Each structure stands twice: as structure tokens, then as C-alpha cells.
Amino acid sequence: MIITVTMNPAIDKTAEIKQLERGNLNRLQNCLWDIGGKGINVSKTIKAMGGESIATGFCGGGTGRQIEESLAKFGIESDFVPIKDETRVNLKIVEENGIVTELNEPGPVVTSKELEELTQKLIHYANDEAIFVFAGSIPRGIENDIYQTLIPLVKEKGAKVFLDADAELFAKGMEGKPDYIKPNRIELEEYFGKDYRVTQEELLDMGKELLLKGSSLVAISLGQMGALFLTNERVIKCPGIKVKAHSTVGAGDAMVAGLVYSLSKGVELVECVKLAVAVSAGAVTTHGTKPPSKELIEELKQMIEVIEL
């Protein structure tokens, strides 16, 4: 079973505009809203591929109820810890030239009692058939070493862990020795203290160093350039494919979904990475943070090139 953990979920409002004018009136067009947060996006995409997951984390107030009701409509099982504070609402503005501006609220304050309730819930779900996805930002009231704390708790019960976070959450989370990780180029450059755009060779060296820290799969997303995938035995490059892009929001979450869905089924590595890149490319073509259709995923999967390095 796949359990996605979204500590700071949101309702994502996405609006289109010809060009954002700072300091002036902007009239938004084609306003959409979706339930979001990285783990929830992973659960939505897994469902689109025909898989199942349990979405958990924190939900509060009317926004939290909307998230849980929407998940139920999607047919996605959820088991959130109710909190007193209101779950956040985020705004994403997509300009005609493809530039995306994200205005994300900080999120609610979570109490120590609410955090303990989630911790016990995760331990309850942990077993040797479970894969946890710890993804995204955290609300106020929680320290940025939370992933470092939670990962060993579920791993000691036999579960596998996929970590998708950035900055200090990623750096400290790595100390918990997650099994699978998906940093992007910028996150790796920050983690390794590089103040320039690193080469592919440097990215591969960084990925190999992360394998030495205990991960068995390192997926390095490169945006429209594709992705690199490293295990202790193999290194694979998948160049990006050309699609009609609408928004890059959620593309990384879709890649995580493709990987964790394949890993849960024991799929061979090449098929695993082809699905991950196809799902990510498909997510770029959708509006808001909606996942691509199963039909589109299969179509794009046939276009993925796999290069052994």
C-alpha cells in the first residue's frame, strides 16, 4: 500500500493572464481550483494510472473539509488528522508566455498533540508492504527535521520511504535514510553548496554520493530536459519529449507518482523510469494540478528514450 503524507495541503487556485502587471489591476481568466499539496498530487496521479493510495496529513476548517470531500469524489481513500487551524489556499498565476507565479500561504499552526496523532497514525500504517511518500512543505509549529524523525519510525517496521522535499527539509530528511528520492537540479546545487549551474557529470557524481548515504534510487528531474536515474547498479538518462505545455505545476509530483506506483508493483527499472517521465510530461499538458489521463500516459510512454550511461 502507498501512503502519501501531505503535512501542508492546500486548495490550489490556478488562473491564466496575458501578462502579470506588478502594481496594477490584473484581471484573471480561466480560474480553476484543485486540491493540492505534493502528496495529494501524487495520490491523484496514482489514481489516474489505475492505482490506489491512502492520503494522510493534516486538514483543518472548511478548506480541509473540501479537500477530504474532493478526495472521496476521486475515489481516493484519506485519513487526515483534523486540526483547529484552517488549511491554506494557494494562487498560481500562469502567463501567456508560460511563466508561472506562485503565491502560497504559509499554512496553519499545528500543535504538538496533533503532530503526535499523525505520528501514531503513520506508525500504525507501517509494515513491510507499505511505501510512504513524504512530500512538500510543513505547516507552522513543526520543526524542519520532522522528516528525519518520521522516516526511521516507519522504516523500522519494514516500510520503504520516498522523500520529495527541498532546502532544509531535504537536507535533514536525508539523515533519516529514505529509500528513494527525487531532487531536481536546483535542489541538488543547493544541497551541495554549488553557486553555478552544474554539468551533467557533476549531477551524476552528486547522485552517486546520495546513493552512498543509503538511498537505493535517486531520480534527478531536469524539467523539459528529462531526467537522470541512478541505482547502485545502473545509471539511466531519459531525454525530455516535446509536448504542448500548459503549466509545469505538478510535473515533479507526477514523476514521483509514476516512480512509487511502479516500485509498489515491483516493475523493472527501465519500465519504471519510462512511466515516470511519461506521467511527468503528461502533467505539463493539463490545466491546474490535474493529472494526465491514462490514455495520454500510455501514448507518451511509447515516446520515451532510455539511454544507459
Structural domains of the chain, with CATH? 2-308 (3.40.1190.20)
Question: Per residue, what are the HEC states of the chain?
Answer: CEEEEECCCEEEEEEEECCCCCCCCCCCEEEEEEEECHHHHHHHHHHHCCCCEEEEEEEEHHHHHHHHHHHHHHCCEECCEEECCCCEEEEEEEECCCCEEEECCCCCECCHHHHHHHHHHHHHHCCCCCEEEEECCCCECCCCCHHHHHHHHHHCCCCEEEEECCHHHHHHHHCCCCCEECCEHHHHHHHCCCCCCCCHHHHHHHHHHHHHCCCCEEEEECHHHEEEEECCCCEEEEECCCCCCCCCCCHHHHHHHHHHHHHHCCCCHHHHHHHHHHHHHHHHCCCCCCCCCHHHHHHHHCCCCCEEC
Mean pLDDT value of segment 178-201? 92
- pLDDT tier for residue 223 given thresholds of 50, 70 and 90: confident
Instruction: Label residue 288 left, alpha or beta by phi (over 0 means left) and psi (-120 to 50 means alpha).
Output: left
Mean pLDDT value of segment 5-29? 90
Q: Could you give the CA distance from residue 67 to residue 63 in angstroms, rounded to a whole number?
A: 6
Q: Looking at residue 131, what is its pLDDT?
A: 97
Residue 196, pLDDT > 90, answer no
Residue 152, pLDDT > 70, answer yes
Mean pLDDT value of segment 292-303? 86
Encode pLDDT of 254-289 as tens digits. Answer: 999 999 999 999 999 999 999 999 999 888 787 666
Mean pLDDT value of segment 219-223? 90
Mean pLDDT value of segment 3-27? 91
Residue 230, pLDDT > 80, answer yes
Residue 144, pLDDT > 90, answer yes
Encode pLDDT of 106-139 as tens digits. Answer: 889 999 999 999 999 999 999 999 999 999 999 9
Residue written as cell 510512504? 132
More confident: 253 or 284: 253
Q: Looking at residue 261, what is its pLDDT?
A: 95
- Residues whose CB falls within 8 Å of the CB of residue 39, separated by 6 or more in sequence, listed in order: 4, 5, 6, 9, 55, 57, 133, 134, 135, 136
Instruction: Label residue 293 left, alpha or beta by phi (over 0 means left) and psi (-120 to 50 means alpha).
Output: beta
Task: Out of 12, 34, 179, 253, pick the active-site residue.
Answer: 253
Whole-model pTM: value is 0.90
Q: Looking at residue 120, what is its pLDDT?
A: 97
Q: Which three cell numbers stand for residue 289?
A: 494540478
Q: Looking at residue 290, what is its pLDDT?
A: 74
Please give the mean pLDDT across all residues of the chain. Answer: 91
Mean pLDDT value of segment 58-64? 94
Residue 100, pLDDT > 90, answer no
Residue 248, pLDDT > 80, answer no
- pLDDT tier for residue 5 given thresholds of 50, 70 and 90: very high
* Proportion of the chain above pLDDT 70, given as a percent: 97
Q: Looking at residue 98, what is its pLDDT?
A: 80
Residue written as cell 534527478? 220
166 tagged catalytic: no
